[in-house]
Structure formats: C-alpha cells, structure tokens
Structure 1
Amino acid sequence: MLRTLSALLLAGLAVHAQAKVDSAQADRLGRDLTPLGGEMAGNAAGTIPRWEGGLATPPANYQPGMHHPDPYAGEQPLYNVSAQNLAQYKAQLPIGLQVMLEKNPDYFLRVFPTHRSAAAPQRIYDATQQNALGARLISGGNGVEGAASGIPFPIPQNGQQAIWNHIMRYRGDQIRFVTNQAAVLENGSYNLLKLERDIYFVYGRDGMTTGDLNNTLFYYKYKILAPSRVAGSALVVQETIDQVLAIRKAWRFSRGDRRVRRLPMLAYDSLQPDTNGLATADVVDSYNGAPDRYEWTLKGKQEMLVPYNSYAVHQQGIPYENIVKSKHLNPELLRYELHRVWVVEADLRKGFRHPFGKRRFYLDEDSWQILAVDLYDMDGKLIGLQESHPISYYEVPMFGSTLETIYDFKGNRYFVDGLDNNEPMYDFNADLKRTDFTVQALRSGGI
C-alpha cells in the first residue's frame, strides 16, 4: 500500500485535471516546498534531510572537463539490501528491484546516507514559480502551453502533469557528449556502440519565451563512432512538445548506402536500432514522447530506496568490463539512497498495443527525474525494470542520469546506455545551433 503524503493533499489535487493552482499554493514554492515543488523539510525519522539548495556549485577540486569528483567519496554504506534481507526493506523498493534481487542472489544494493543534491539555476526556479499559475495541459493532456522554461506543474494535480514535469525538466541549454551503450545477452556477451551526441534545447533555454517555442522541445543528433563497420551512420531528431499535433521528425544517414532517409515512425513502441530489441523509442530518458496512449494516475508520494548521487560509477578510467557484468551492472559501483518520490502509474489505453501494458514510474521530488520504472506486459505480468543512475552536474547546475539500464526478466538480459568513463566529459557549452540539426547538416556531416 502506497503511503501518500496526506489524504488532504491528494483530495485537493484531484479536483480537476486542467485546473491551475491558486496563488496561495504557488506561494508555497521556496517556502515549505522547494522551488521545483518537493517538500522542503526532511522526514520525521531524520533519514531524509531538509533540502538546503542542493549541489549548486562545484567542489574545490573540480576543474572544467573533469569527470565529476565524488563529493561523498569518503562515505561508507549504511547497510546492504540483498535477497537474504529483502523482506525487511520490501516496502521501500520498486517491485522490479525486488524481483532483481530475488532473481540474482549475487546482486545487492549499497544504501548510503541521503543527500538532496538536486539543483537548478535561479532562472529555472523563477520560471517554475510563474508556471504554477500559468501553465496548463492542452490537447487532452498531450501538450503544454503557458510555459517556456522551468517545471510546468510543480504542484501536480494528476499523472499527466507529473510525467510532463519529467519530460520538460531542465537539462542545460545544450550538450555535446560521447557515451557507449551495450545490449548484454543472457550469456553475458555484448558489443559496445560508441556515439557522439548533441542536444540543443529549445524549451528551458535562457531567454526563451512561449512565442519562440514553435512547439519544439529540443533538437538531437548522434553519430556512431565505433565499431568501424557502422561508424559514420547518424541520426537527427526534431522533438516536438505536442506530438499528437505534430509528430516527432527523424532522419537517419546510413553509412552503407550513404543516403539520408526520413524515418516514418520513431516513437512509442518502435524499436531503437542497435539495441537487440531491448529498447523501444519511448524508454529513452526513462520516458519520452507523447503520453496519449496511456492513462496516467498520480498515486501519491512514497519514501523509496532509489539510485542517487551515482558518482562512483561515473568516475574516469573505470574499464567498461568492470561496470557491465552478466545479468546486471556491478553492484559495487552503484549507490542507493532513501528519497521521497512521486509514484505515477500508466495503463495502456484500449485499442493500442505495446510491450509494456503498464508502467509504474518513480519520480524524484527534487528534480522530477524518473529514477526507476516497473514494467508490465499486456497481461499484467512484471517483465522488467528501468533505472536511472543520476548525479548533480554541479557546474551547470543540473541533475540528471549518468547511466541508464533496462532489464528484461524474461530474456535474462539487459541494455545499458551512458557509459562515459573513458570518453571526454559532457560539454554544456558546446557551440551548437539549430541549423546543426537539419537534413542538410546530416547529409553534409555524413559525406
């Protein structure tokens, strides 16, 4: 049974799907609520501390371009959770993570002291305050208007608003980064695929107005760097906000025939290339794209053990084979903490099909980053788990995942993305512009 924040809160939130909060509620932001809508106070047990602004500045030993030094490197785990003591902690674990522990006797969670490190620039906080009164869902919940930056619904009234908070959370103005991904088979074998990625954010950009958005969330492209047999192939995506009004546009340059082709559909349940069938288009970033194929339910808030402050697995020079193990990631490099999360359930609407007939999302109250997802098939059987292992990119500041996984319980395999330990670090000041994300740019870049 989920322990909701309070029955009174949920009663107030369920009044009307499209209703905005009043000024008295909005004034709570920055007072008893954090600027993005989390509870400012810690919990009664003292195991979750008060939010004090997060990690908004780099530590003294940080230099630009470094893999982020771990501000908590000296800490030791409070305890471990494994199949042997699972019963003691079940109420605080996503169901998918419980199954992970039951299926893998060698797997365990290292649980550390909780640090509420999520932070964002002041302008994001200011925009969020305005959004609380001005943002609203449109197109049956498939779009958002009245917001150009910040969290659109910091005091969510329904599940759609909560998932839009994740989709539209701040991730910088632009990023260039190189990461590796791998589909790990049942026997533990895998091949790394190295990608150079660029993202140019439109929503959330400094100085952006609602009139400038033109229904655009961001532009994205990647170029395959290795292995050599596919190096040079590339993809460009123009991501819309309301994808029912105007679908996501995507083009792929194939090294094999040196042609650019428009992809007819790169959304919902279409499979991502080079993932061995493990990843659908909408599992990138834990969830992305239009919410129209699911019914969304805001279940409340709960204290959960989730991935957080995952600096240890992010450090420079760790061989990828030390991270990517058979069946799961190396638990010795992962960090879990107790945090309050919003729980949102998504049930597939009648008339649609998807490998995931139901999903249960766990969203960080301080950043709106999805931290874990329970995945169910069309028959309601639990078949998988997604996890995001986040850090505070304190030089921005921005809180986001450094590593993402999706576990397939049926096939005893998993997909991991974000391996960056032996690559240049994320560049949040990359010289990117909108014209870098056109078909012409894709063609000229490939040639």
Structure 2
Amino acid sequence: MRHERKVLVGLMMALTIQSAGNLAFGNQDSIERLGKDLTCFGAIRAGNADGSIPPFSGELINQSGNTESKSTGHHPDNPYAEEQPLFVITAANAGEYQDRLSPGQKALFQRYPDSYVMKIYPSHRDFSYSQSVCDATLENARSAKLLNDGEGLEGRAGGIFFPLPKNADEIRMNTTLGAMYAWTEDFISDNAHVLANGKINWGKVHTTALAPGNEPGKTSHTSNTPQSSYYLNETLLPLRDKGEVNTGMNAWNYATSPLQSWRYDPGTRRVRQSPGYGYDMAYPGSGGAMTVDETRIFSNSGHRYNWSIVGKKEIYIPYNNYGIHSSELKYVDMLTKGHINPEVMRYELHRVWVIRAELKDGYRHLYSKRDIYVDEDSWFAIMGDNYDSRGELWRTSLVNYIHLPELQGWHSGVGLYHDLSAGDYLAFNLINEQRQGYKINAGNLSPGDFGPEAARRAGR
C-alpha cells in the first residue's frame, strides 16, 4: 500500500518572527542579528505565538551533574525523565494535528491505526554551544561560500557554515558537513531489521569515526584540513559477514574529491576499493532497509538531485529522546511489529526547515523525491520522507539526537527507517544492551586509523 500524496500544508505559517525570507540572506544586517534575536546558529531565539515552542534559553544541560563525574561512553542520563506527555496523537485524532505532522507520520498512522501513537512532550531549547563554535559560525556567516554548484564549500571548520542560508544547497551542506559532529566516535551498536511478521534480523557493528576540523580548542579551515571526516565500520553480526570492514573518508568538496571507500573481505582476506560507493547502494548490514546516503537522513553528495527550500514549519519531531538509549530498556520490549514501541519515543514541537530533493533528468536513484526536515537549532536533519519512482511515499525515517556534555552538542543516536509498503523497519545504532554507550571526543583516533591499511589491520 502506498501512502500520502498530499503536499505539505501550512508551510511558511505565521510565526512570532520576521518572515523566513528575512532569514535567508547573509547580508550585514542579518549577520548583526546573530547572537541577538537569532541564536549564534541563526535560529529564531523567540518562541512561537501560542508558547508551545519556548524561547531559546541557551542553558547548557549537563545530564551527569558534572562533566567530569562520568567518562564518555556512558549511557546518557535523561534530564527530563520525570516529565509526562502533554497529550497523545492517535490515528483517531490525527486530523486535529495534521498541520504539525509530516506526510510520513500521517502515513504511519494510516498503516498502523491500532498501534502507532505519538506522545507529545513539552518542548525544550535548553542547550548551548561553546563560544569557539559560535565564533567560527560568525566568521562563516561573513565569508563561507559554496563551490562547484553546491558540491563543495570553503570556510572555517568547527562552526556552522551557513547560519543564514540563501538556498537549499547551503542548508544541505550545514546538515552533512556541520560543526556539531563529534571530533572522535567509538562505539558498538546493534541494528535490528524488524520484518513485517515480527522476526528480527540482527546486525552488530563496531564504529569509529574522526572529524579533524571539530577538534576542541583547535582552529581549522577547510583549506588546511584535507578531509572533513573518516569512518571505519567492522561487522560483528550477522555471522556470515563477521570480520567485514568498510572504511572511507569524506572531503570538503564532493565534486573534486568524491567519497572514497574500501572494503576488507574476510573470505579472501583482501582489501578492495569500492568504486562509486554511496548514493542508493544498500548500507552494509542494513538488509537493504536504508541506503548509504540515508545515514543521518541524508549524507554525502547531493548532485543527483535538484534542491529547493519548501519552507519553514512548526512540526512534531523526535527531540530530547534520551530514554530510547537507556540501558534499562531491553530490545524485546522495544522492538514491536510495524514500528518501535511508542512508549520509548518522545516528540516535541519545533521549527524545522523543509528542503526537497528531486531527481535530475538522466540520473538514477531509488528515491525520485526526498523531503528532509532540518532542525533550526542544530542544523541536523531529523526526519526524511522518501518517494519512489512513481512519486508515491515509500519510506519514512527519523533520527533521535541527544545532547551530550562531553560533546557540548547534539549526537546522532537511534535511527528508525520505515518501509511503508513492506511493513518492516530498521532500528539503527541501538546501544541499550551494550556495555557502553557512545564514546565521544575521547581523542584517541587519528587519520592513520582509517583507510585501506587500517582495514587490513582490523581484518587480521
């Protein structure tokens, strides 16, 4: 069954601010607003008209009470654990909230009318950024620029590149090459592909990643930091793929330096380059439930699509969902048929940019159109609606971001990728039953820990 042909409604709705058009031009007047009526990231500091979205407070939430009291790698504490939902959206009352729901959310209500619900909690905008990140972002507001028709950029690393975006390409590059990715990451996670009949195909991956330009206390520029990021994923499950290693690196300009990737095959004990890696290739270990360029909703090159800004919208999105990462939760209680147990989800009302990707003539991809919902406060893509070749909604996805004190920013947590036709979903980056959580900014990685030689070492 295919779902939802309706176009987003209510976009560019009346907000308690100047029109979005005033926010989309990086002129001197707009730049002067950063850190004032706009946050240093360019978000609207004010709340909305009815108070359901609060003003940005900028108070740093330190979940552990003291940044030194728990080392990185712990399961995150929940600063809002005592809060109760304001209300619950069900299939029966979803029509009352349709202007604040995405097509993907509406489709989930239609697909699972007896079980899918959304618990809506008070909205919080309590996090802040270090002054160095704000300084880098202000510098970028004055001088950062796109290159090669939006496939590359030039600016100061460690900050948002386009806090006052002029077009969808600038928003896209904020989400894919933004400042708030961790400097170093090291964690083991479980991936559960939950089939329509409830059976689960399990995966387990050891992930390490490095973003050199985001090293705390270091000033970097795209011109002197050759790679924007590195990654290495070692497969631990399923057993048939155990020992497979995928590693690669991203540059600041996809046009001049496409994504490079290598794969170690434990069967042949050889490392081979993976030509053309990315786009709609199946993400390793996902069972085909997500594409390589679907990590964090959208990643890597966007050149196969024409990009446009649909508008800005107040919408219910997963936010501050620390609970879904709790070590007290067991997978058997979380991974219900059709969709994750709604009891472990938290939604809040926030403002998002909506950008649209439409496949160019002469190019191919599994998705002919993609609507991506970008949180105005963090510039992270929170949700995505993906359409098939007939223009019908096929897959809808979301990522639960959590604010970590060791990062002083948001980190990508559990992702949920729903196939509305097949009735299955992928729960990605689960850490609940792992001994540790996400080990962030420990500073124990270098470029030598990635690439073909690193894959060969890891495979031995």
> What TM-score, normalized by structure 1, do the two folds share?
0.94
- Corresponding residue to 2:57 among 52, 65, 89: 52
> Map of 1:359-378 to 2, 5 A cutoff?
359-378=370-389
> Map of 1:10-89 to 2, 5 A cutoff?
10-11=20-21, 21-60=26-65, 63-64=70-71, 65-89=73-97
Which moved further from structure 2: 51-60 or 420-429? 51-60
Q: Distance in 2 between matches of 1:360 and 1:431?
A: 37
Paired position in structure 2 for 1:104: 112
SS in 2 for 1:266: coil
AA matched with 2:27: D
Paired position in structure 2 for 1:409: 420
Cα gap change, 1:261 to 1:126, in 2 (>3 Å): same
> Map of 1:219-368 to 2, 5 A cutoff?
219-368=230-379
The count of corresponding residues between Structure 1 and Structure 2 is 441
Which moved further from structure 2: 125-134 or 260-269? 260-269
Aligned-residue Cα RMSD (Å) equals 1.8
SS in 2 for 1:340: strand
In the alignment, is residue 93 of structure 1 matched against residue 106 of structure 2?
Answer: no
How much has 1:12 moved relative to structure 2?
5.0
Q: Distance in 1 between matches of 2:234 and 2:328?
A: 23
How much has 1:121 moved relative to structure 2?
2.4
Which moved further from structure 2: 117-126 or 425-434? 117-126
Paired position in structure 2 for 1:149: 158
How much has 1:5 moved relative to structure 2?
6.2
Q: Distance in 1 between matches of 2:421 and 2:333?
A: 25
Paired position in structure 2 for 1:17: none
Preserved contact between residue 64 and residue 70 of structure 2 (Cα < 8 Å) = no
How much has 1:224 moved relative to structure 2?
1.7
- Corresponding residue to 1:441 among 435, 443, 454: 454
AA matched with 2:158: S
SS in 2 for 1:213: coil
How much has 1:118 moved relative to structure 2?
4.1
AA matched with 1:435: G
AA matched with 1:158: N
How much has 1:158 moved relative to structure 2?
0.8
Preserved contact between residue 37 and residue 45 of structure 2 (Cα < 8 Å) = yes
- Corresponding residue to 1:213 among 218, 225, 233: 225
How much has 1:226 moved relative to structure 2?
3.1
The C-alpha deviation readout for 1:332-354, integer Å capped at 9, x for no partner, is 00000000111111111111121
Percent of pairs with identical residues: 33
Q: Distance in 2 between matches of 1:129 and 1:13?
A: 15
AA matched with 1:80: V
How much has 1:157 moved relative to structure 2?
1.1
Q: Which runs of no fewer than 5 residues in structure 2 stay unpaired?
A: 1-8
Paired position in structure 2 for 1:202: 212
Paired position in structure 1 for 2:194: 184
Cα gap change, 1:430 to 1:317, in 2 (>3 Å): farther
Q: Distance in 2 between matches of 1:209 and 1:166?
A: 18
